[in-house]
Chain A
Amino acid sequence: MALLAQIVVSGVLLGGLYALMALGLALVWGVLNIVNLSHGALIMLGAYATYFLFTGAHVDPFAALPLAAAALFAAGYLIQRGILNLVIRGPMFNTLLITFGIEVILTYLAQLWFSADYRAINPRYAGSSYTFGGVTVPLVQALGFAIAIGLTAAMWLFLLHSRTGRGIRAAAQNLVAARLYGVDPKRIYALTFGLGAALAGVAGGLYGTVSQINPYIGGPLTAKSFVIAIIGGLDNPFGVVVGGLFLGIVESLTALYVGPTYRDVASFGILVLVLVARPSGLLGRTA
Chain B
Amino acid sequence: MSDALLEVGRLNAGYGEMAVLRDVSIAIRPAEIVALVGSNGAGKTTLLRALSRLIPSRGELRFAGRSLAGAAADEVFGLGLVQVPEGRQLFDRMSVAENLRMGAYQRRDKAAIEADLERVYALFPAVADRRRQLAGSLSGGEQQMCAMARALMARPRLLMVDEMSLGLAPVIVDALLETMSQIRAQGVTVLLVEQDVHAALSVADRGYVLETGEIVRAGTARELERDPEVQRAYLGAADPVPAMPAGRAHGAP
Stretch of A12-20, A89-97, A180-188, A264-272 on the interface side: A180-188
Please give me the residue from chain A that is nearest to B98 by CB atom. A166
Contact A169 B94 (CB under 8 A): yes
* Any B CB within 8 A of the CB of A235: yes
Please give me the residue from chain A that is nearest to B150 by CB atom. A181
* Any A CB within 8 A of the CB of B106: yes
Please give me the residue from chain B that is nearest to A187 by CB atom. B74
* Any A CB within 8 A of the CB of B220: no
Contact B102 A184 (CB under 8 A): no
* Any A CB within 8 A of the CB of B157: no
Stretch of B58-66, B85-93, B124-132 on the interface side: B85-93
Query: B102 — which chain A residues lie within 8 A by C-beta?
Result: 166-167, 170, 177-178, 181
* Any A CB within 8 A of the CB of B103: yes
* Any B CB within 8 A of the CB of A174: yes
Contact B74 A183 (CB under 8 A): yes
Q: Which has the most chain B C-beta neighbours within 10 Å: A163, A167, A180?
A: A180
- The distance in angstroms between the C-alpha atoms of A181 and B101, with both chains bound, is 10
Q: Which of A160-217 contact B (CB under 8 A)?
A: 163, 166-167, 169-170, 173-174, 176-184
Contact A169 B73 (CB under 8 A): no
Q: How far is the CB of B73 from chain A (nearest CB, A)?
A: 4
Please give me the residue from chain B that is nearest to A164 by CB atom. B105
- The distance in angstroms between the C-alpha atoms of A176 and B55, with both chains bound, is 11
- The distance in angstroms between the C-alpha atoms of A178 and B150, with both chains bound, is 12
Q: How large is the interface on A (under 10, 10 to 19, 20 to 34, 35 or more residues)?
A: 10 to 19
- The distance in angstroms between the C-alpha atoms of A272 and B29, with both chains bound, is 63
Please give me the residue from chain B that is nearest to A160 by CB atom. B98
- Residue of B72, B78, B90 touching A177 (CB-CB under 8 A): B90
Q: How far is the CB of A156 from chain B (nearest CB, A)?
A: 15
User: Could you tell me the dominant secondary structure of chain A's interface residues?
Assistant: helix
- The distance in angstroms between the C-alpha atoms of A66 and B83, with both chains bound, is 41
Contact A174 B77 (CB under 8 A): no
* Any A CB within 8 A of the CB of B154: yes
Q: How far is the CB of A111 from chain B (nearest CB, A)?
A: 42
Query: B82 — which chain A residues lie within 8 A by C-beta?
Result: 180
Contact A182 B91 (CB under 8 A): no
Q: Which has the most chain B C-beta neighbours within 10 Å: A170, A177, A179, A181?
A: A181
| A173/B83 contact (C-beta < 8 A), A179-B74, A182-B106 known | no
Contact B54 A176 (CB under 8 A): yes
- Residue of B73, B78, B106, B154 touching A179 (CB-CB under 8 A): B73
A-B contact count (CB 8 A): 61
- Residue of A169, A170, A182 touching B78 (CB-CB under 8 A): A182
Query: A173 — which chain B residues lie within 8 A by C-beta?
Result: 91-94
Please give me the residue from chain B that is nearest to A161 by CB atom. B98
Query: A182 — which chain B residues lie within 8 A by C-beta?
Result: 74, 77-78, 105-106, 154
Contact A184 B74 (CB under 8 A): yes
- The distance in angstroms between the C-alpha atoms of A235 and B91, with both chains bound, is 14
Contact B54 A181 (CB under 8 A): no
Q: Mark B95-118, 1 if CB is under 8 A from A, else 0.
A: 000100111011000000000000
Contact B105 A235 (CB under 8 A): no
Contact B93 A235 (CB under 8 A): yes
- The distance in angstroms between the C-alpha atoms of A183 and B90, with both chains bound, is 14
- The distance in angstroms between the C-alpha atoms of A169 and B93, with both chains bound, is 9
* Any A CB within 8 A of the CB of B144: no
Query: B54 — which chain A residues lie within 8 A by C-beta?
Result: 176, 179-180
Contact A180 B103 (CB under 8 A): no
Contact B105 A183 (CB under 8 A): yes
* Any A CB within 8 A of the CB of B12: no
* Any A CB within 8 A of the CB of B165: no
Q: Which of B184-226 contact A (CB under 8 A)?
A: none
- The distance in angstroms between the C-alpha atoms of A255 and B106, with both chains bound, is 52
Query: A180 — which chain B residues lie within 8 A by C-beta?
Result: 52, 54, 73, 77, 82-83, 85, 89
- The distance in angstroms between the C-alpha atoms of A173 and B135, with both chains bound, is 12
- Using a CB–CB cutoff of 8 Å, the interface residues on chain B facing chain A are 52, 54, 72-74, 77-78, 82-83, 85, 89-94, 98, 101-103, 105-106, 150, 154
Known: A166-B98, A174-B92, A179-B54. 14 other contacts (CB 8 A): A166-B105, A170-B91, A173-B93, A174-B89, A176-B54, A176-B89, A178-B102, A179-B74, A181-B105, A182-B77, A182-B78, A182-B106, A183-B74, A184-B74
Question: Could you pull out 25 A-B pairs where Cβ atoms are within 8 angstroms?
Answer: A166-B98, A169-B91, A169-B94, A170-B91, A170-B94, A170-B102, A173-B91, A174-B92, A176-B89, A177-B85, A177-B89, A177-B90, A177-B91, A177-B102, A179-B73, A179-B74, A180-B52, A180-B54, A180-B77, A180-B82, A181-B103, A181-B154, A182-B74, A183-B105, A184-B74
- Using a CB–CB cutoff of 8 Å, the interface residues on chain A facing chain B are 163, 166-167, 169-170, 173-174, 176-184, 235
